[in-house]
Amino acid sequence: KFGVAVVNGTAALHLALAALGIGNRDEVIIPDLTFVASANAVSYTGAKPVFVDIDKETWCIDVNKIKEKITNKTKAIMPVHLYGHPCDMDPIIELAEEKSLSVIEDAAEAHGAEYKGKKVGSIGHIGCFSFYGNKIITTGEGGMCTTNDDKLAEHMQFLKDHGMSKDK
Q: Which residues are catalytic?
A: 135
DSSP string, 65-105: GTGGG--TTEEEE--B-GGGPPP-HHHHHHHHHHHT-EEEE
Asked if residues 109 and 138 have their Cβ atoms less than 8 Å apart, the reply is no
| Cβ neighbours for 36, distance < 8 A, ≥ 6 positions apart | none
Beta pairing class for 126-130 and 102-106: parallel
DSSP, res 63: G
Distance (Å, whole) CA 129 – CA 55: 22
Q: What are phi and psi of 122, to 5 degrees?
A: -120, 5
